[in-house]
Chain A
C-alpha cells in the first residue's frame, strides 16, 4: 500500500472516483539547488472533488513542490505536469497558474487589512479591470451574493483588520476561488451559471491555512473547503496537523526527505501510520509518560490574577509539575503566561515564586526573569526570536553577561557556547553562525527553548510550545519540557492543542470567561475530555462574552 516510488500503485488501493481523469497530475518532479536535491521524483495527482492532503516535516519538500506549481522554482528536467489530462510545459511562468485554473492561499492570506471586505474581495478584478470608476455599492452587493453562495456570514463593509482570524481565512479562500471563477467566465466570454462546473477552479492550494485559527474556526474553514470541493474543484491541503489531514482529506501524500513516502487513502489510515510515514521511522515514544515523582511544596502560586479577560484566577504549581491551562480562544488561557510575566499592561494580582511575592501590576519582563520566570511565546517570529540575526545571537541573548570578560565579549566563546547548546538541544544543522530563519520551524523552537533554559528558570511559562513545529521535533520538545520538570522546574503550559495538553500535563485547568472552571487530573486527561470541558464552559450567556474578539 505504501510505495516509495510514486502515487500510482498506492492510489489503486485508495477509495476513489477512478473513472474520471485527474485534474492535476504531477509526475516525476525533481528539484536540485546546487548540490542538494530537495525533491526526488515526486508524483502526485489530485482528482475532481478530491481534498488531497500534503504532509511532511519542515524541509521535506512541501514548499518547494508548491513553489514549482506557482512558477517560482524551475523543476529539473524530466518532470511532467498534466492539467485535466493535457500536458503543460514546465517550467511554469510566474503567474501562469491562474490561466491553468490554479489558485493559492498562503498562511499570510495576502489581504489588505486597512481596506474593507468588499474591496479585498474585488482587488484582483479591479487590478485587471479596464473600468476607471468603481461603484462600492455594487462591490458590496456582489460580495454579499458571493458570501451567501458559500454560506458565510461576513459583513462586506467591515474593515479586514477588524475581522476575526477565522473570517480573514474564509475571506481569503473565497476570494481565491472567486477570482478563478471570474477568469474562467471572462475567458468563456459568456455568463457561466454560478454553479456550473465549467467555471469551477481546477485546483485550490491551501498552504497551512489553519495555523493560527481556533478550533471553531478550523471547522468553519473545513466546511467551506468541502463545499468548494463538492462543486468539482480539487483541493491540495498542505498542513502540519495530522488530525486535520485525517479529518478533512480524502487521500494524503506524505513527503519524506524530498520523496513520496506514500499516498494513502485517509479513511483507511491511522494517526500512527501517518506519523511513521512523516518521520520515516517506527515510533515508540508516543505513549504518555508514566507518573513522575512530584515535589510537594508549591514553587509557584498565582493569587487573584486579573486582566481584561482574566478574573480572579488563583492556583499553585508545584516543583516538577506540568500544569496545563485550556479554554476556547478568548476565554483566558492564552492570557495567563503573559499576564504573570509582566508582558500584559492591564494585569493585576500577585504571583509568588520560590517564596517571594511579586505584584503583577508592577512586574516587567526584566523583573520576571530575575524572579526566575521564563516565557516561551507562541508567536515565535514576532516575540520569540530575531530572524535577521544569527542562531548564536538568538540563543545567547539572555546570557550575554556570562561571555563578558573585563567588559568585552569573547566572541569565540559565544559561538562555542551556542554550539554546545545546539548540540544539547539537538539543533540541526548545528551551525550557530547561520541566520536563524534558515532553520526549520522545529529547530527554531529548540533554539528558543535553549535560550530560555539557559537562565535555569524555576517557573517555565509556555504558550503553544509546538506551534508550527513538525512531528519529529515536537516529541523532542516534549522531552525537553519533561526533563526540565524532572529537574524541579514548575511548568505552566497554555495551549489550544488539547491532545498536547493531555500528553504533556499532570493537571489541566479549564477556564471559562476568564475564571477557573474545572480541574482535570489523572485519567481525566484525555483530548476528548479537555475538549468537552472547554466547550461545556460555553453555555448560555457565557457564549456572548467568551466569543473570539472580532
Chain B
C-alpha cells in the first residue's frame, strides 16, 4: 500500500506512457544528466576561463583551428584503441604502430620514390599485420593482452629506428599533406573531419549494429559470450586487427600533418590516448568506452593544455594533464561503479 503511494509520487510515474518509454525516470534524473554531459560542461568552463584571461590569443579562429586540427591524430589513435578496449583487451602497441606506419610511408614515399597510394596501403597493412600478430599471442597462446602489446609496441619502436637508421625522414608527397592539413573546411584542417567521420562510423557500429553489441558482450563477459554461442576468439582477434589498422591510419595522418616521420615521437601519444579513452568512458555514455565521449575528452584535455600554455606554462603541463586525467578518470569510474552497486543494493 505505502509502496504504491510512494511509486505514484516518484518522478516519471505520471505523464504519458510514450514519454516514459522514451526517457525512463533514471535518464531524466538531474544527477545522471550532469554525469552524462559533465565533461562538455567542464570543457565550456575551461574555454570561458581562458577566454576571459586571454581573449586576444585564446579566443581566436587560429587558436581553435590549431586545437581541432592538431589533435586529429590523437582522436584517430584513441578511436582505434577503443575497439580492442570494448572487446576487453588492452592494446599498448598503438603508439608503436603509429610510428611504424608513419615511417613506412615516409621511407617508401619520400626515400624510395613510391607513389603515395601504394605507400599508404602498405602502411595500413603493416598496422593490421601487427594487430594480427597481437591476436596470435593473445588468443592462440592465451597471453595477457597487456603484456603482449607492451612487447610488440616496443618491437615496433625498434623496427622504426632500424628502417629509418634513427633519422627523421621528411618530404612526403604534398598531396597527402594537403589532404590532411593543407586544406581547411570552415577554417579547420581536413584532418579534424577524418577524426569526426571515424567517430560517427564507430558510434554507429558500436551502438547500432549486432557486431558492436557482440564486441561489448565479449568485453564484459567473455564466458557468457562463449556460452551464448559468440565466436569470442574471432571477435577479439578482429578487434585487435581493426585497432591496428586504425592506429596505422593515425600514423598516415601524422605523416601528413608533419610532412614526414621521426622515429621517436609516436611514443608520446600512448598515454594521452589511454587518458582520453578512459576519461571519455566517464561521459556521454558513462561506464562505457564510447566514441563521442572520447572526442569530448581529447578536446577537453587539449583545450586545457593549450590554454595553460598560452598563460605561460611550459611543456611539462602536458604530462601533468594527461597523467592526471588518466588516474582521475579511472578513479571516477570506480566511484561511479561503487555508487551503482549501492543503488542496486538498495533497490
> Across the two chains, which residue of chain B brings its CB closest to A368?
B229
Q: Is A25 an interface residue (CB 8 A)?
A: no
Contact with A along B108-141 (1 / 0, CB 8 A): 0000000000000000000000000000000000
Q: Is A388 an interface residue (CB 8 A)?
A: yes
Check B208 against A383 for contact (C-beta < 8 Å): no
Contact of A369 among B9, B21, B229, B340 (CB under 8 A): B229
Q: Is B347 an interface residue (CB 8 A)?
A: yes
Q: Is B44 an interface residue (CB 8 A)?
A: no
Check A365 against B229 for contact (C-beta < 8 Å): yes
Q: Is A437 an interface residue (CB 8 A)?
A: yes
Contact of B227 among A37, A383, A403, A404 (CB under 8 A): A383
Q: Is A89 an interface residue (CB 8 A)?
A: no
Tell me which of B187-195, B212-220, B239-247 binds A: B212-220
Q: What residues on B are CB-neighbors of A37 within 8 Å?
A: 2, 6
Given contacts A383-B227, A398-B228, contact A407 B209 (CB under 8 A): yes
Categorize the interface residue count of chain B: 35 or more
> Across the two chains, which residue of chain A brings its CB closest to B7?
A35
Check B226 against A365 for contact (C-beta < 8 Å): yes
Q: What residues on A are CB-neighbors of B56 within 8 Å?
A: none
Residues facing A in B189-240 (CB within 8 A) are 204, 207-210, 213-214, 216-217, 220-221, 223-224, 226-231
Q: What residues on B are CB-neighbors of A38 within 8 Å?
A: 346
Given contacts A365-B226, A386-B221, A438-B347, contact A409 B10 (CB under 8 A): no
A75 → chain B closest CB, angstroms: 14
Check A375 against B344 for contact (C-beta < 8 Å): no
Given contacts A369-B229, A433-B26, contact A388 B3 (CB under 8 A): no
Given contacts A366-B230, A404-B210, contact A388 B26 (CB under 8 A): no
Contact of A35 among B10, B26, B207, B223 (CB under 8 A): B10
Check B231 against A401 for contact (C-beta < 8 Å): no
Given contacts A382-B223, A398-B229, A431-B24, contact A33 B346 (CB under 8 A): yes
Q: Is B343 an interface residue (CB 8 A)?
A: yes
Cα A433 to Cα B3 in complex, Å, equals: 21
Given contacts A385-B221, A389-B220, contact A36 B227 (CB under 8 A): no
Cα A528 to Cα B216 in complex, Å, equals: 46
Residues facing B in A12-40 (CB within 8 A) are 33-38
Contact with B along A430-443 (1 / 0, CB 8 A): 01011101100000
Q: Is B345 an interface residue (CB 8 A)?
A: yes
Q: What residues on A are CB-neighbors of B210 within 8 Å?
A: 400-401, 403-404, 409
B337 → chain A closest CB, angstroms: 8
Q: Is B287 an interface residue (CB 8 A)?
A: yes
Cα A35 to Cα B214 in complex, Å, equals: 37
Q: What residues on A are CB-neighbors of B230 within 8 Å?
A: 366
Q: Is A63 an interface residue (CB 8 A)?
A: yes
Q: What residues on A are CB-neighbors of B220 within 8 Å?
A: 386, 388-389
Q: What residues on A are CB-neighbors of B10 within 8 Å?
A: 35
Cα A433 to Cα B285 in complex, Å, equals: 13
Q: Which one of A364, A397, A404 has the highest number of Cβ atoms from chain B below 10 Å of its Cβ?
A: A397
Q: Which one of B3, B207, B217, B346 has the highest number of Cβ atoms from chain A below 10 Å of its Cβ?
A: B346
> Across the two chains, which residue of chain B brings its CB closest to A415?
B21
Cα A259 to Cα B207 in complex, Å, equals: 43
Q: What residues on A are CB-neighbors of B224 within 8 Å?
A: 382-386, 397
> Across the two chains, which residue of chain B brings its CB closest to A386?
B221
Cα A393 to Cα B214 in complex, Å, equals: 10
Cα A401 to Cα B214 in complex, Å, equals: 11
Check A435 against B340 for contact (C-beta < 8 Å): yes
B347 → chain A closest CB, angstroms: 5
Q: What residues on A are CB-neighbors of B216 within 8 Å?
A: 389, 393
Cα A37 to Cα B340 in complex, Å, equals: 19
Contact with B along A399-427 (1 / 0, CB 8 A): 01101100111010001000000000000
Cα A403 to Cα B209 in complex, Å, equals: 9
Q: Is A377 an interface residue (CB 8 A)?
A: yes
A4 → chain B closest CB, angstroms: 14
Contact with A along B157-200 (1 / 0, CB 8 A): 00000000000000000000000000000000000000000000
A76 → chain B closest CB, angstroms: 14
A550 → chain B closest CB, angstroms: 24
Residues facing A in B64-82 (CB within 8 A) are none
Q: Is A224 an interface residue (CB 8 A)?
A: no
Contact of B223 among A364, A383, A437 (CB under 8 A): A383
Cα A388 to Cα B230 in complex, Å, equals: 18
B87 → chain A closest CB, angstroms: 13
> Across the two chains, which residue of chain A brings its CB closest to B345?
A63
> Across the two chains, which residue of chain B brings its CB closest to A36?
B6
Q: Is A343 an interface residue (CB 8 A)?
A: yes
Q: What residues on A are CB-neighbors of B343 within 8 Å?
A: 438
Check A366 against B231 for contact (C-beta < 8 Å): yes
Q: What residues on A are CB-neighbors of B347 within 8 Å?
A: 36, 438
Q: What residues on A are CB-neighbors of B2 within 8 Å?
A: 37
Q: Which one of B216, B341, B344 has the highest number of Cβ atoms from chain A below 10 Å of its Cβ?
A: B344
Q: What residues on A are CB-neighbors of B340 within 8 Å?
A: 435
Given contacts A365-B228, A397-B228, contact A411 B217 (CB under 8 A): no
Check A400 against B213 for contact (C-beta < 8 Å): yes
Cα A393 to Cα B218 in complex, Å, equals: 12
Check B227 against A343 for contact (C-beta < 8 Å): yes
> Across the two chains, which residue of chain B brings its CB closest to A410?
B208
Cα A364 to Cα B227 in complex, Å, equals: 9
Q: What residues on B are CB-neighbors of A366 within 8 Å?
A: 229-231
Given contacts A366-B230, A397-B228, A400-B214, contact A435 B344 (CB under 8 A): yes
Q: What residues on B are CB-neighbors of A33 within 8 Å?
A: 346
Cα A431 to Cα B27 in complex, Å, equals: 13
> Across the two chains, which residue of chain B brings its CB closest to A416?
B21
Cα A383 to Cα B223 in complex, Å, equals: 6
Contact of A408 among B21, B208, B231 (CB under 8 A): B208
Q: What residues on A are CB-neighbors of B229 within 8 Å?
A: 364-366, 368-370, 398
Q: What residues on A are CB-neighbors of B3 within 8 Å?
A: 36, 257
Check B208 against A388 for contact (C-beta < 8 Å): no
Check A397 against B217 for contact (C-beta < 8 Å): yes
Q: Which one of B2, B210, B224, B341 has the highest number of Cβ atoms from chain A below 10 Å of its Cβ?
A: B224
Contact with B along A357-372 (1 / 0, CB 8 A): 0000000111011100
Check B228 against A35 for contact (C-beta < 8 Å): no
> Across the two chains, which residue of chain A brings its CB closest to B212?
A409
Contact of A388 among B6, B9, B287, B345 (CB under 8 A): B287
> Across the two chains, which residue of chain B brings its CB closest to A448?
B224
Cα A437 to Cα B346 in complex, Å, equals: 12
Given contacts A393-B213, A409-B209, contact A375 B221 (CB under 8 A): no
Q: What residues on B are CB-neighbors of A34 within 8 Å?
A: 346
Cα A365 to Cα B228 in complex, Å, equals: 7
Cα A37 to Cα B27 in complex, Å, equals: 23
Q: What residues on B are CB-neighbors of A377 within 8 Å?
A: 227
> Across the two chains, which residue of chain A brings its CB closest to B5?
A35
A462 → chain B closest CB, angstroms: 13
B189 → chain A closest CB, angstroms: 31
10 A-B pairs with C-beta separation under 8 A: A35-B6, A384-B224, A386-B217, A386-B220, A388-B220, A389-B216, A393-B217, A400-B210, A437-B341, A438-B344
Beyond A370-B229, A387-B221: 5 further Cβ-contacts under 8 Å? A36-B346, A366-B229, A382-B223, A409-B213, A438-B343
Binding site for B on A (CB under 8 A): 33-38, 63, 257, 341, 343, 364-366, 368-370, 375, 377, 382-389, 393, 397-398, 400-401, 403-404, 407-409, 411, 415, 431, 433-435, 437-438
Question: Nearest 10 pairs between A and B by C-beta?
Answer: A386-B221, A438-B344, A366-B229, A369-B229, A33-B346, A400-B210, A35-B6, A386-B220, A408-B208, A365-B229
